[in-house]
Structure 1
């Protein structure tokens, strides 16, 4: 069987460049930096795993083995409102590092994934009476 074509025109090297630039900004972000710092001990290892995640999602490589929803749910300090900041930084990184067509296609995919992760985090966070906590 022939391999599937990529979802859009991007290379593994471009994915790695975006991931590195993104996490450089995350580490500097006053809201997201501390959240990530609690969980990430080895940034190069984490970035390599995320490159594999995106290579799987975009290029259909079979290099990622993980469960992003479980990781975000189990973190304990990830809140639904953080996904807006995450996506904003990611969109900025995409626009800075890629051509406009690449940035738009990857952004659309990231926003779909972000909505799913946010919904999964909201699902487990309930206030009094079972009301979802959205921030």
Structure 2
């Protein structure tokens, strides 16, 4: 466990997945309440880079992508721009807890999409029928 008091910030070159792991690692520390107060910076190095792109957008900088997004996010980090973000806390039935910073999804939507194929002949109504059928057969 690194001594975070010696650091001004943590900067990660990654996509959203590694940032998820870092955040969840920070909250597992004994000093988690202080650890999550440490500024986190992200330089886009993944395939989606949704958080980096969102932060870039809300900074007011002109839209960019690819390597230009990496360079622009680097400049934002050098400027020391800090924005507070909310985290979503998820308590699982197993007792473990996860934190989400970008989005939260439930496999239900994907299940409806896949399982509604048999109702394709109904057009767009297939999703309504598929949803009702899926709700009636939820696995708990």
Output the TM-score relative to the length of structure 1.
0.26
Higher strand share: 2
Higher helix share: 1
Output the TM-score relative to the length of structure 2.
0.26
